[in-house]
């Protein structure tokens, strides 16, 4: 398994996308592939899962190691456009960027129902009226204990073709507060 995780703050990622000056120099290999990008609202981190043939091969039974980026005093500037395109009409729609919903107090309280060891193995996101709890690695003996906590919160295991997860209705967690 030649994959790694890269942890960024959402603000840092936005600065990079906007081309604002930032103290970051990439030490990523040239053959890097982006496999997954996740926003973890609870820890306020953007997790990028990347793969490269130059990474050391790690057994699949181990958790995905973190890749540390090199940070220097240099700055990044946005590339200058080579050509400009004028709009045909005066009306220019502003792009809308969906803002992530802030986790409710109930969702945070639900996360706190899990032990710190269990929270390290899970990702928590709020989707509609549910808190979606996904394992971030293969769970062996821990699955039963985590499933028991989810069931005590009124949730259930949702088996999918590719991705399976636990869903906990937010209304069930209202009595936690």
pLDDT at 6 over 80: yes
List the structure tokens of 144. 């039963």
For the segment 61-101, what is each residue's pLDDT rounded down to a tens digit?
A: 777 778 777 665 554 444 444 444 455 545 455 555 544 45
For the segment 140-165, what is each residue's pLDDT rounded down to a tens digit?
A: 888 999 999 999 989 999 988 778 89
Rounded to a whole number of angstroms, the CA Rg of the chain reads 20
* Same domain assignment for residues 4 and 74: yes
Sheet holding 122-127, edge to edge: 122-127, 130-135, 165-169, 156-158
16 Cβ contact partners less than 8 Å away, ≥ 6 residues apart = 22, 24, 76
* Same domain assignment for residues 67 and 18: yes
CB-CB contact of 3 with 56 (8 Å): no
Residue 57 vs residue 135, higher pLDDT: 135
- Give the per-residue pLDDT at 130: 87
CATH code at position 116: 3.30.1360
Q: Is 0.85 surpassed by the pTM of this model?
A: no
Domain extent for 19? 1-78
Domain count, the chain: 2
* Same domain assignment for residues 4 and 67: yes
- Give the per-residue pLDDT at 145: 92
CB-CB contact of 19 with 78 (8 Å): yes
pLDDT at 23 over 70: no
For the segment 30-72, what is each residue's pLDDT rounded down to a tens digit?
A: 888 888 888 887 788 888 888 888 888 877 777 777 877 766 5
Residue 90 vs residue 13, higher pLDDT: 13
């Amino acid at each position: 398994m030649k994959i790694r995780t890269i942890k960024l703050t959402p603000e840092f990622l936005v600065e990079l996308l906007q081309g604002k000056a930032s103290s970051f120099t990439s030490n990523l290999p040239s053959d890097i592939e982006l496999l997954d990008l996740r926003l973890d609202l609870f820890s306020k981190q953007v997790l990028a899962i990347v793969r490269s043939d130059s990474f050391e091969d790690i057994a699949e039974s181990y958790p995905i190691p973190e890749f540390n980026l090199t940070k220097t005093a240099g700055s990044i500037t946005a590339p200058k456009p080579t050509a400009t395109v004028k709009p045909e009409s005066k009306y220019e729609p502003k792009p809308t960027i969906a803002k992530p919903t802030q986790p409710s107090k109930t969702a945070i309280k639900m996360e706190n129902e899990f032990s710190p060891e269990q929270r390290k193995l899970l990702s928590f996101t709020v989707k509609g009226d549910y808190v979606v709890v996904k394992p971030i690695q293969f769970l062996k003996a821990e699955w039963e204990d985590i499933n028991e906590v989810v069931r005590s919160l009124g949730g259930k295991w949702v088996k999918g073709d590719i991705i399976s997860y636990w869903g906990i209705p937010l209304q069930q967690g209202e009595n936690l507060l």
